[in-house]
């Protein structure tokens, strides 16, 4: 990728959420921007290096934030901000400026504001996905406007669900919020020895309450969903790869072959070996 990319989006028909500008830059030492007031929300994700943000409040008093790789920061419209790269380890970042009727809601759900502009990931492994969601926007210079907006929605979805400071939704959306958080955790940890208690703990909920809201949102209990998710991954491995049944079981969180076989048969009605014999994909 080049040291600098920049694009402007010029379709005003998207009212709920729209993107205005986006880009990527590998900054020179002490490269700065500001003081400046934005008309829209501007989010930077730092890929490497480090820098500093000076964020002004309503009174004009500045707070200084040191920011490093794996973190991000939001600039809220209407406030004066300045940010600059470190002298020794200048940052490399990707950024997106966005707005719309639901922009404020998305930013708040991620736990961000001019008072709390720093973005921290709930887990380090989420950083790669967030970065790629943003780079998909940056690389979309020749894409249709609908595709660009689609990438924006995917980026904002990651911004919210991967945030270490995301806020709880109110009313009927609460269960969907926790269910989505739980599913993301399962997707990233199904191969480990995780339990429903671990998932509830990640969502910061009592296990019993978590089970109720999850089942209402998904239609399955957390335990049922976890087992079916693991078995679906195992089924794919059985028909595509050549690893032993025992190794496949271990790869989806079942080091005990007997336990794995029982769980698999409970979902698919046959043993892992029978499933492989009936469905194995053979290269021709």
Sheet of strand 4-8: strand arrangement: 4-8, 18-26, 92-99, 41-48, 72-75, 118-119
Percentage of the chain modeled with pLDDT above 90? 54
Beta bridge partners of 32: 84
pLDDT top residue among 122 and 284: 122
**Global pTM exceeds 0.85:** no
Phi and psi dihedrals of 229, rounded to 5?
A: -65, -45
Question: How far apart are the two ends of the chain, measured CA to CA in Å?
Answer: 38
pLDDT value of residue 284: 37
**3-class secondary-structure state, position 119:** strand
Return mean pLDDT, the chain.
Answer: 87
Same domain, 83 and 187: no
Rounded-to-integer distance, Cα 45 and Cα 72, Å: 4
Give the mean model confidence (pLDDT) for residues 204-228. 86
Rounded-to-integer distance, Cα 276 and Cα 90, Å: 52
Rounded-to-integer distance, Cα 163 and Cα 173, Å: 18
Same domain, 139 and 176: no
Same domain, 134 and 8: yes
Same domain, 122 and 213: no
Domain tally for the chain?
2
Same domain, 229 and 247: yes
Same domain, 143 and 9: yes
Same domain, 19 and 146: yes
**Domain limits at 206?**
168-284
pLDDT value of residue 60: 73
Rounded-to-integer distance, Cα 17 and Cα 19, Å: 7
End residue of a domain, out of 161, 191, 216: 161
Residue 172: pLDDT over 60: no
Residue 136: pLDDT over 70: yes
The widest CA-to-CA distance across the chain, in whole angstroms, is 71
For residue 221, the domain's CATH number is 1.10.10.60
Rounded-to-integer distance, Cα 190 and Cα 210, Å: 18
Burial of 125 (0-12, 13-18, 19+ CB in 10 A): exposed
Give the mean model confidence (pLDDT) for residues 220-236. 90
Same domain, 216 and 272: yes
Runs of H (alpha helix) within the chain: 103-109, 127-138, 145-161, 173-189, 196-202, 207-218, 222-240, 245-251, 257-268, 272-279
Q: For residue range 51-103, what is the model confidence (pLDDT) as tens digits?
A: 999 998 777 788 999 999 999 999 998 889 999 999 999 999 999 999 887 88
End residue of a domain, out of 108, 142, 161: 161
Pick left, alpha or beta for residue 171 (phi over 0 → left; psi -120 to 50 → alpha; otherwise beta): left
For residue 52, the domain's CATH number is 2.60.120.280
* Residue length of the chain: 284
Contacts of residue 71, Cβ cutoff 8 Å, sequence gap at least 6 = 45, 46, 118, 119, 120, 121
Same domain, 157 and 195: no
pLDDT value of residue 12: 54
Q: For residue range 111-125, what is the model confidence (pLDDT) as tens digits?
A: 999 999 999 998 899
pLDDT value of residue 281: 62
End residue of a domain, out of 140, 161, 182: 161
User: Cα–Cα distances in Å, from 121 out to 39, 71, 161?
Assistant: 26, 7, 9
pLDDT value of residue 283: 47
Q: Could you tell me the two tokens for 11?
A: 């379709």
- Local structure of residue 161 (DSSP, 8 states): H
Same domain, 173 and 144: no
- Local structure of residue 112 (DSSP, 8 states): -
Alpha-carbon torsion angle 94, 28, 90, 135, nearest 10: 10
Same domain, 14 and 152: yes
Same domain, 176 and 259: yes
Q: How many CB atoms lie within 10 A of CB 263?
A: 21
pLDDT band at 177 (very low <50, low <70, confident <90, very high): confident
Rounded-to-integer distance, Cα 96 and Cα 138, Å: 8
Q: For residue range 5-60, what is the model confidence (pLDDT) as tens digits?
A: 666 655 555 667 889 899 999 999 999 998 888 888 999 999 999 999 999 877 77
């Amino acid at each position: 990728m080049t040291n600098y990319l920049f694009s402007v989006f010029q379709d005003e028909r998207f009212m709920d959420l729209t993107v205005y500008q986006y880009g990527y830059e590998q900054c020179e030492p002490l490269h700065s921007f500001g003081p400046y007031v934005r008309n829209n929300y501007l989010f930077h994700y730092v890929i490497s290096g480090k820098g500093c943000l000076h964020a002004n409040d309503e009174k004009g008093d500045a707070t200084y934030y040191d920011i490093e790789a794996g973190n991000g920061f939001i600039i809220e419209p209407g406030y004066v901000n300045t940010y600059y790269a470190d002298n020794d380890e200048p940052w490399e970042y990707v950024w997106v400026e966005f707005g719309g009727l639901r922009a404020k809601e998305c930013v708040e759900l991620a736990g961000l504001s001019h008072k709390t502009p720093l973005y921290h990931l709930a887990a380090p492994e989420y950083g790669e996905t967030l970065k790629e969601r943003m780079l998909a926007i940056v690389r979309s210079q020749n894409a249709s406007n609908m595709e660009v907006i689609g990438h924006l929605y995917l980026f904002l979805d990651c911004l919210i669900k991967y945030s270490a400071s995301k806020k709880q939704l109110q009313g009927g959306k609460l269960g969907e919020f926790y269910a989505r958080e739980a599913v993301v955790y399962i997707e990233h940890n199904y191969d480990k020895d995780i339990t429903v208690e671990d998932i509830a703990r990640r969502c910061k909920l009592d296990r019993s309450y978590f089970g109720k809201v999850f089942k209402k949102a998904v239609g399955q209990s957390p335990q049922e969903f976890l087992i079916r998710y693991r078995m679906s991954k195992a089924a794919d491995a059985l028909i595509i790869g050549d690893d032993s049944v025992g190794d496949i079981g271990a790869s989806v969180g079942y080091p005990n072959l007997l336990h794995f076989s029982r769980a698999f048969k409970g979902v698919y009605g046959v043993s892992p070996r029978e499933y492989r014999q009936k469905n194995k994909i053979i290269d021709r």
